[in-house]
Structure 1
Amino acid sequence: MTVSITDVARAAGVSASTVSRALRGQPGVSDEVRAQITAVAAQLGYTASRSASSLASGRTYTIGVVVPYIGRWFFGTVLDAAEKVFSAAGYDVLLYNLNSPEARKRFFTKLPVRKRVDAVLSLLIPDLDEESALRSLGVPLATTVGGPRDGFTVVGIDDHSGATSAVRHLVNLGHRRIGMISGASEPLHWTTPIDRRQAYLDVLAEAGIAHEPALEADGGYTVDGGERAMTELLAVSRPPTAVFAQSDEMAMGALRALRRHRLKVPDDVSVVGFDDHELAEVIGLTTVAQPVPEQGAEAARLLLRRLEEPDAEPVGQVRMPIRLVLRETTAPPSPHRSS
């Protein structure tokens, strides 16, 4: 005989709605009562029906997540942290990997998430039409990339401030020929490379250092791209004595290129990255640390709060802390390379 939620409620001496809230981890139930209901449900062998729960509440208990690069460290780390929060709250994740212009166009044309999800976490920056399409879903929206936008809860960092601290660190060490490995080939609407490059230009101007386009190279936000970009910078007539890589993965590629050219870090060239990748400490990389998993977890928590408290004022933007972490890849320029 199938055990129903009414059977659990009768045995526990509470209402069916209290059983539902307790077993789904919702607020409004004391820890003592929740523990009692959980024990009774286990004793009776009750298993909550997702379809019945959805019909009763009007929810799907599914969160849509849209990513541009599931294989990139940043996006994968954010997704992993967010999924853990969603799963703990009883929600499934419906993932859309929009890693090509065709996939992106198809998604925003068809909007397959409509009526299939209760909220959307977007890890890409939509254009105006795409923003409008997401808002038309009528569900809570959150992101961990880009700046403030109408209808979205944005959890992120100040990219300009972080890059400023990285480049200013190189200037303060005495470097005057400072190169940058960026992500110029990244898709439109992603503001991170733009903000970090602007910080690079601003600090150079502040220090009275003339900008040289030849000291910028595109690393595509990958290790291999960083290696190619560093090789390109080493080929200019007067190579840089220091390099700011807009991501740790590109910085790792730069270190590999320098090693293959028999150059010592930081004796010959200083390198600073951005992210504090899980391997950054292992290789002694000076970098700007940002709390990547925490951004994913916080965005997930804020989406769930919107679902549980629909009448509450939504949070527009949350800025997470960043800091410069000094390790072994930066030092003052050697006298023979400081010109």
Structure 2
Amino acid sequence: MGLAHLSLADVARLAGVSPATASRALNSRPEVAEATRARVLAVAREHHYVASPEASGLASRTTGRVAVVVPHLSRWFFGALLEGLEARLRRARLDVLLYHVPTRRDRHDFFERLPARRKVDAVVVLAFPVSEHEQARLAMMGVGIVAAGGQVAAFPHVCIDDHAAARQAVDHLLFLGHRRIAMIEAVDPESAEWRDGMGRTTGYHEALAEAGVAPDPDLVVTVPWGEQHGADAMSRLLGLRVPPTAVYAHSDEVAAGALATIRRAGLRVPQDVSVIGIDDHPVAALLDLTTVAQPVREQGEAAGQLVVDLVAGRQVAPAAPVPTRLVVRGSTGPPRQADAGR
């Protein structure tokens, strides 16, 4: 039976229950036995059933709930983004249903289950890739969809321009006189097909090319996100026959790991090696780390405003770019005279 033809009565018949029970199961009502709910949801998933407004009773009211899908809870960036989002939704009296999807399997299960339940007014995706298939599953729900923190997709989103942020960072190092500039590129192993900071990579290569600096593959190290991975990457860079005079890291956490390795090696920052990151993580100021700051909590609030507008039926812009700014601290400086132009 096709997607367009399956009704609530059909779901009920295939699951062996009454239409009223099927409706209660699809709307997660507590009076439905777990085994019955599982059977109804399995039928709905198998036949790609999406509850109509008439069947679910949503035509004349909203649920007052917003689904927020997040891949990481322990990282500062996601916590700050979620904090801003939740604060704006709370002011609008919208409750948050949090879905933690740290692995590909978790994401797959979420996108397969959610359309059949249709128990929210909107879905917010926080900083992870949404495939075409997943976008189609979201579209089946007929509710507002918003992304925040890096996802550029076919629905409204709030993010910084990662390419521009990379240019701010690398252009700063070039302005100081550095030419042998390394990049520690960070990727999410669970999203290898979509590099979180792809713009942060292309911006690096573009800045060097415009400055007439020939590319050196040895100066690019790709690692997962995190301080320890940044430290390991810096060890590899210091082991080169001609180490870099400056390092550009995709994030401040990665840069923090690089700083630790440099200092353990007995080198001085920035006299021997300059380091710059992106984000302006709360520890960046304590580490005296030069960085490109992005307003993370504000991005969450802006995404929350998009949700409020969508739920209210108002028009929203397809993209809401957020500006970044260079914050110069003590971790960057000119290269030593002997290394200048190297």
User: Could you say which residue in structure 1 is the equivalent of 2:319?
Assistant: 317
User: Could you say which residue in structure 1 is the equivalent of 2:38?
Assistant: none
- Structure 2 counterparts to residues 1-339 of structure 1, below 5 A: 58-111=61-114, 114-123=117-126, 124-146=128-150, 148-150=152-154, 152-186=155-189, 187-188=191-192, 190-308=194-312, 310=313, 312-338=314-340, 339=342
Assess, with a 3 A threshold, how the Cα gap between structure 1 residues 132 and 145 changes in structure 2: closer, same or farther.
Answer: farther
Counterparts of 1:219 and 1:290, CA distance in 2: 22
| CA RMSD after TM alignment | 1.9
Q: Which has the larger displacement, 99-108 or 195-204?
A: 99-108
Q: Secondary structure at the match of 1:64?
A: strand
Q: Secondary structure at the match of 1:170?
A: helix
Counterparts of 1:154 and 1:55, CA distance in 2: 25
Q: Please say if residues 115 and 140 of structure 2, whose CA atoms lie closer than 8 Å, have aligned partners that are also in contact.
A: no
Q: Please say if residues 219 and 250 of structure 1, whose CA atoms lie closer than 8 Å, have aligned partners that are also in contact.
A: no
Q: Which has the larger displacement, 165-174 or 66-75?
A: 66-75
Assess, with a 3 A threshold, how the Cα gap between structure 1 residues 55 and 138 changes in structure 2: closer, same or farther.
Answer: closer
Q: Secondary structure at the match of 1:129?
A: helix
Q: Secondary structure at the match of 1:171?
A: helix
Q: State the one-letter code of the partner of 1:217.
A: V
Assess, with a 3 A threshold, how the Cα gap between structure 1 residues 198 and 220 changes in structure 2: closer, same or farther.
Answer: same
Q: Please say if residues 66 and 95 of structure 2, whose CA atoms lie closer than 8 Å, have aligned partners that are also in contact.
A: yes
User: Could you say which residue in structure 1 is the equivalent of 2:8?
Assistant: none
Counterparts of 1:185 and 1:211, CA distance in 2: 24
Q: State the one-letter code of the partner of 2:221.
A: A
Counterparts of 1:145 and 1:275, CA distance in 2: 11
Counterparts of 1:107 and 1:188, CA distance in 2: 19
TM-score (norm 2): 0.78
Q: Secondary structure at the match of 1:239?
A: coil
Deviation at 1:113, TM superposition (A): 7.7
Q: Secondary structure at the match of 1:334?
A: coil
Q: State the one-letter code of the partner of 1:215.
A: L
Deviation at 1:112, TM superposition (A): 6.4
TM-score (norm 1): 0.79
Q: State the one-letter code of the partner of 1:222.
A: G
Q: Secondary structure at the match of 1:111?
A: helix
Deviation at 1:191, TM superposition (A): 4.8
Counterparts of 1:159 and 1:113, CA distance in 2: 35
Taking every aligned residue pair, what percent have the same amino acid on both sides? 42
Deviation at 1:201, TM superposition (A): 0.5
Deviation at 1:314, TM superposition (A): 2.5
Counterparts of 2:257 and 2:306, CA distance in 1: 35
Counterparts of 1:139 and 1:223, CA distance in 2: 38
Counterparts of 1:192 and 1:108, CA distance in 2: 20
Deviation at 1:128, TM superposition (A): 0.7
The alignment of Structure 1 onto Structure 2 pairs a total of residues equal to: 283
Deviation at 1:96, TM superposition (A): 1.1
Counterparts of 1:197 and 1:114, CA distance in 2: 39
Counterparts of 1:305 and 1:127, CA distance in 2: 25
Q: Please say if residues 146 and 190 of structure 1, whose CA atoms lie closer than 8 Å, have aligned partners that are also in contact.
A: no
Q: Which has the larger displacement, 96-105 or 110-119?
A: 110-119
Q: Secondary structure at the match of 1:103?
A: helix
Q: State the one-letter code of the partner of 1:299.
A: A
Assess, with a 3 A threshold, how the Cα gap between structure 1 residues 303 and 185 changes in structure 2: closer, same or farther.
Answer: closer
Deviation at 1:148, TM superposition (A): 4.3
Counterparts of 2:328 and 2:169, CA distance in 1: 10
Q: Secondary structure at the match of 1:96?
A: strand
Counterparts of 1:109 and 1:266, CA distance in 2: 50
Q: Please say if residues 270 and 330 of structure 2, whose CA atoms lie closer than 8 Å, have aligned partners that are also in contact.
A: yes
List alignment gaps of at least 5 residues for structure 2. 1-56
Q: Please say if residues 241 and 269 of structure 1, whose CA atoms lie closer than 8 Å, have aligned partners that are also in contact.
A: yes
List alignment gaps of at least 5 residues for structure 1. 1-53
Q: Secondary structure at the match of 1:90?
A: coil
